[in-house]
Amino acid sequence: MKHDGGRGMSSPNEAPQLPDSEPPLPEKVVKVRPPRSLRVELMVSYLSLLAVVVIGFGISIYVLVRQGVYHQAESDLLASAQLLAQELKSGVAKSDLAITQAYRHRFGPAPRDQAYFTVWDPQGHQIVNNAPPLPHLEFGPSEPPPEHRRPFYSLAHGIHLDVYLKETDGTRVMVGRPMAREFDHLNRLLVIVGLFGVVSLAAGAVGAWWLARRIVSPLDQLTQAAEKITAQSLDQRLELVEASSELTRLSSVFNTMLDRLHNAFQRQIRFTADASHELRTPVAVILSQAEHTLSRPRTPEDYCSALETCVRASRRMKRLVDDLLLLARADSGRLDIRQEPLDLADVVRQSLAMLEPLATEKQIRLTAQLLTTRTVGDAARLGQVVTNLVTNALQYNHPDGNVFVTVHTRDSRAMLVVSDTGVGIPALDQPRLFERFFRADQARTHSEGQGTGLGLSIVSEIVAAHHGTIEVTSELGVGTTVTVQFPIPETPAITPE
Amino acid sequence: MRVLVIEDESDLRRLLTEILEEEGYAVDAAADGEDGLSKAQMWSYDVIVLDIMLPKIDGWDVLETLRETHQTPVLILSARDALSDRVLGLDIGADDYLVKPFERLELLARLRALIRRAAGQTQSTVELGEITVDLRDRCVRQGGQTVNLTAREYALLEYLAVHRGKVVSRTELYDHLFDETDNSLSNLLDVHVSNLRKKLGPDLIETRRGQGYVISE
């Protein structure tokens, strides 16, 4: 009842070799059995099994009953044959020989049931014969049946059963009878067994249909629900009112998968919307500046300032595109992190030097305590981490505030700590800090030098690529401390460059 | 016509101001929602260009608060292009929604349409006897001949023509024709009116003593 045996062979490369006698076909005909419905499969299996059981059972009953009937008939015929032989011995006249009354009743009163007999003397001469001329009784008057060793044996011809008895003196008796009555019973039994078989197969078919439906309908439900779910309607969920534990588990696993897909899609949609939104403003500046400037003749100064505006907007776009590219690389696992020996303190020193003007402009004291910390990593990317963290610390700060950066080693881990006395981050926003385009203050300003909203996401990706961790502690109105830890590899190239 | 631009991106704010001023509008600008809302409530603008993502008070709140007291036409100019944003913007009281990046000519046309509709005007030309004021091309024709007007003169005539039949006070004219940086000398208006009368005939603009000026229908 399993049909998957053929399916494994259906690959076109493994087509069975055709016998040589057959002419080669112009094209390979590979029969691919269309998948059968589970419902049909279940019903066929169930019904076949039931049919085997019912038919086997019916045949067994019939055979057993028939054997019993023959056995009974045989022993009755043998007994009456022995009685005949005894009567003959006790000197009853040949013409008076007859089946006793008791057995005649047993065999049945109707003429068609009547027994017949033949007696041969030890010399093999037929002495009594009241058998009708039946075709199977071919032994003539002087032709006794062949010799046999056993005291008796029986032969069945059609509905006739004949028992041959050999007395010790050589006298032989044959008693036979048509078993019409017994066959009536047997035929009735056959009909009853047959009817019972048909009824139970019919009941089985109904049961199988119901069972198959019960098994398949939750699957159908599942399929229909799953069909309705597309990328646009990922918020739908499968519901199973009544189903087996396997299917309930399947649907809950499916729903969990949908949850994850839905979230991923939502993140993707939001990310794309945010990215395009961030790009729209600089594009708007460039487009309207260009259109405005071109709308009438301008002085050279006007052209210069227009180009400066376009350059500013383009720089902002470039920064955004660079950041997006970095994140896209990180997402696809192609963020190539160089493994070079470096001193984290050096990296931080260089980044801070570039940020000094911004700190001065914002009137913030930028101080650092940098201890030599040799490790392995990508200096350019780590510099980006420092720049982004310190820029945030400067950005979300008050004039006269402080930003303090330290680098040191602790428990064979490289530590980078950036703490500020800035505005702090509300506790509610802290878990979302590293989300792309997330800004703790929705009321942001597009002032010069401001980031793209991707700074911390990039920090998080670069730190993760260095197998490091980030920890943020912040109190509203007091300040924020960001602690980044990197594991120092076991065999850092301590050799000075 | 006087316009308020509420936009936080400094380059775009400056650009919008320049574009609109070149078109003869008196332009005020605000860099955040708070400043924008207070200006919008203080002055009566002909139209407001409003960004959504603003510091301090966002554009939605500015619009909702403003709509409690003012009917000033508002055009939302936002980078947010989602259908839900556009629907929300129009539903909470914006008169138009334009997505960044925008075409300069489209922005100007939409602003003209908003001003026209707010004044109950359906066409982009106003016929005053044999004088035609073309609101789209910003020019005035008398008997088929184009009349040379300065930007201020045109703005004054346009305002009176759009509101023709209604007496417009001197204060209202000051509010709508000059931005907050203009040094509004009280006799500046009289000079423009007398110049218009010289160029277009003495009977076009009537003076209602103690009330203001009117162009009768």
Count of pairs with CB atoms under 8 A, one residue in A, one in B:
76
- Shortest distance between the Cα of A261 and any Cα of chain B, in A, equals 22
Give the integer Cα–Cα distance in Å for A352 and A176.
124
Exposed e or buried b per residue across A361-377, where buried means at least 16 C-beta atoms within 10 angstroms of its C-beta? ebebebeeebeebbbbb
- Shortest distance between the Cα of B20 and any Cα of chain A, in A, equals 10
Cβ-defined contact of B53 to A291 (cutoff 8 Å): no
Q: Is A320 left (phi over 0), alpha (psi -120 to 50) or beta?
A: alpha
Question: Is pLDDT above 60 for A11?
Answer: no
- Shortest distance between the Cα of B170 and any Cα of chain A, in A, equals 32
- Kindly identify which residue of chain A lies nearest to residue B59, measuring between CA atoms: A443
Give the integer Cα–Cα distance in Å for B140 and B149.
8
Give the integer Cα–Cα distance in Å for A363 and A361.
5
Give the integer Cα–Cα distance in Å for A377 and A347.
11
The count of residues in chain A is 497
- Kindly identify which residue of chain A lies nearest to residue B17, measuring between CA atoms: A292
- Kindly identify which residue of chain A lies nearest to residue B15, measuring between CA atoms: A289
- Shortest distance between the Cα of A422 and any Cα of chain B, in A, equals 18
Question: What would the pLDDT profile of B110-143 be if each residue is shown by its tens digit?
Answer: 999 998 888 877 788 888 888 888 888 888 888 8
pTM confidence score = 0.59
SS3 for chain B is: CEEEEECCCHHHHHHHHHHHHHCCCEEEEECCHHHHHHHHHHCCCCEEEECCCCCCCCHHHHHHHHHHHCCCCEEEEECCCCHHHHHHHHHCCCCEEEECCCCHHHHHHHHHHHHHHHCCCCCCEEEECCEEEECCCCEEEECCEEECCCHHHHHHHHHHHHCCCCCECHHHHHHHHCCCCCCCCCCHHHHHHHHHHHHHCCCCCEEECCCEEECCC
- Kindly identify which residue of chain A lies nearest to residue B103, measuring between CA atoms: A288
Q: Which residues lie across from B41 on neighbouring strands? A: none
Give the integer Cα–Cα distance in Å for B51 and A43.
67
Q: Which residues of A touch B16 (CB under 8 A)?
A: 288
Q: Which residues of B touch A443 (CB under 8 A)?
A: 32-33, 54-58
Beta strands in A62-134 (DSSP E): 116-120, 126-129
Cβ-defined contact of A445 to B80 (cutoff 8 Å): no
- Kindly identify which residue of chain B lies nearest to residue A309, measuring between CA atoms: B11
Burial class (CB in 10 A: 0-12, 13-18, 19+), B29: buried
Nearest neighbour of A280 by CB, restricted to B55, B79, B104: B79
What letter represents residue B76's amino acid?
A: I
Write the DSSP assignment of A374-417 as a string of letters: EEEE-HHHHHHHHHHHHHHHHHT--TT-EEEEEEEEETTEEEEE
Give the integer Cα–Cα distance in Å for A48 and A28.
34
Residues 6+ apart with CB under 8 A from B173: B156, B159, B189, B212, B213
Instruction: Please report, rounded to a whole number, the percentage of residues in chain A having pLDDT higher than 90.
Output: 26
| pLDDT band of B40, cuts 50, 70, 90 | very high
Cβ-defined contact of A295 to B103 (cutoff 8 Å): no
Residues 6+ apart with CB under 8 A from A47: A201, A204, A205, A208
Question: What would the pLDDT profile of A395-420 be if each residue is shown by its tens digit?
Answer: 888 888 899 999 999 888 999 999 99
Please compute the mean of the pLDDT values over residues A123-152 and round it to a whole number. 73
pLDDT: which is higher, A485 or A152: A485
- Shortest distance between the Cα of B14 and any Cα of chain A, in A, equals 10
Mean of all residue pLDDT scores within chain A: 82
Question: What would the pLDDT profile of A235-276 be if each residue is shown by its tens digit?
Answer: 777 776 666 788 888 888 888 888 888 888 888 888 888 888
- DSSP-derived letter for residue A81 is H
Cβ-defined contact of B102 to A288 (cutoff 8 Å): yes
Q: Which residues of B touch A286 (CB under 8 A)?
A: 101
- Shortest distance between the Cα of A287 and any Cα of chain B, in A, equals 7
Please compute the mean of the pLDDT values over residues B48-72 and round it to a whole number. 91
- Helix-then-strand count for chain A, H and E: 9, 12
Q: B36 with B30: CB under 8 angstroms?
A: yes
Task: Mark out chain A residues that contact chain B at CB-CB < 8 A.
Answer: 273, 276-278, 280-281, 283-289, 291-292, 295-296, 309, 312-313, 441-448
Mutation to test the B interface, candidates A446, A448, A452, most B Cβ within 10 Å: A446
Nearest neighbour of B18 by CB, restricted to A280, A292, A447: A292
